[in-house]
């Protein structure tokens, strides 16, 4: 391995470590319903966009840019709700709407996967695209403060762990394994807060 390749490998490893730390902070702040979560998430998405591009995970790369847009929207939506209710209130989601949105995400993921498969040299195009589509849906649900977002994130993160292990992104696989635990805790925490809000 040439010196430039070794330096590049060290750079990517350092970048992955930084992205992991920032991502954990972002998810932890989301669980706590802290407005700062959105800014940490935006920074993490920016770092991962570069990282995923170097590993030819183009679906994940594009997903990060959509995440950034959704994070700005989420910040605005949470801020608006906080001003109206003086707190960030957790909401339920209608089952019919949830099912329709899941079907839409699956269809969008399939179309995106076909584009990646036949128009790029993407690695794992169909899996990559489906994870991207459902991650967007989960991020939208988070912005809407739907408690079901955590259940969706648990499923998505478990699949991500397998994909990143396959791609030998071990730190990122470890991060998403931690995300499974954090999402489980987030669901439990939001359930407690939701019960308190219903009593008020």
Q: How far apart are CA 153 and CA 123, in angstroms?
A: 22
| Cβ neighbours of residue 32 closer than 8 Å, sequence gap 6 or more | 189
- The predicted-structure confidence for 146-163, as pLDDT tens digits, reads as follows 989 999 999 999 999 999
Count the Cβ atoms, other than its own, within 10 Å of residue 96.
8
Q: Is 55 helix (H, G, I), strand (E, B) or coil?
A: coil
In this prediction, residues 106-120 reach a mean pLDDT of 90
Residue 70 makes CB contacts below 8 A (sequence gap 6+) with 136, 139, 140, 143
Q: How many CB atoms lie within 10 A of CB 76?
A: 12
Looking at residue 168, its pLDDT comes to 81
Q: What is the pLDDT of residue 93?
A: 86
Query: pLDDT band at 6, cuts 50/70/90?
Result: low
Give the residue-averaged pLDDT of 114-124: 85
Structure tokens belonging to residue 129: 């695209």
Domain segments of the chain: what residues? 3-199
- Is 125 a residue whose pLDDT tops 60? yes
Q: Does pLDDT of 85 surpass 70?
A: no
Local confidence band at 4 (pLDDT 50, 70, 90 cut-offs): low
pLDDT of residue 157: 95
Query: Using CA atoms in the order 44, 81, 77, 41, what is the torsion angle rounded to 10 degrees?
Result: 0
Q: Across residues 87-92, what is the average pLDDT?
A: 72
Task: Report pLDDT digits (tens) over 25-55.
Answer: 998 998 888 889 999 999 999 998 988 888 7
Can you give the pLDDT at residue 200? 66
Q: What count of Cα atoms within 13 Å lies in the side-chain half-sphere of residue 114?
A: 5
Tell me the torsion sign for CA atoms 77, 199, 97, 140: positive
Average pLDDT of the chain, as a whole number: 85
* Helix runs in the chain, H state only: 3-31, 37-54, 58-85, 95-119, 125-143, 149-166, 170-199
In this prediction, residue 78 has a pLDDT band, given cuts at 50, 70 and 90, of confident
């Amino acid at each position: 391995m040439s010196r430039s390749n070794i330096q590049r490998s060290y750079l990517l490893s350092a970048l992955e470590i930084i992205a992991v730390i920032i991502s954990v902070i972002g998810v932890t702040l989301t669980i706590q319903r802290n407005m700062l979560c959105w800014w940490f998430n935006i920074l993490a998405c920016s770092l991962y966009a570069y990282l995923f591009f170097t590993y030819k995970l183009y679906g994940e790369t594009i997903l990060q840019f959509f995440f950034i847009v959704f994070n700005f929207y989420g910040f605005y939506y949470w801020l608006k709700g906080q001003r109206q209710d003086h707190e960030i209130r957790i909401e339920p989601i209608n089952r019919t709407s949830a099912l329709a949105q899941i079907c839409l995400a699956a269809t969008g993921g399939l179309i995106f996967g076909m584009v990646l498969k036949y128009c790029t040299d993407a690695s794992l195009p169909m899996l990559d695209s489906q994870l991207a589509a459902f991650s967007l849906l989960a991020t939208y649900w988070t912005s809407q403060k739907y408690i079901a977002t955590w259940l969706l994130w648990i499923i998505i993160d478990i699949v991500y762990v397998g994909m990143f292990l396959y791609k030998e992104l071990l730190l990122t696989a470890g991060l998403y394994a931690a995300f499974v635990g954090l999402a489980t805790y987030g669901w439990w925490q939001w359930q407690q807060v939701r019960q308190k809000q219903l009593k008020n």
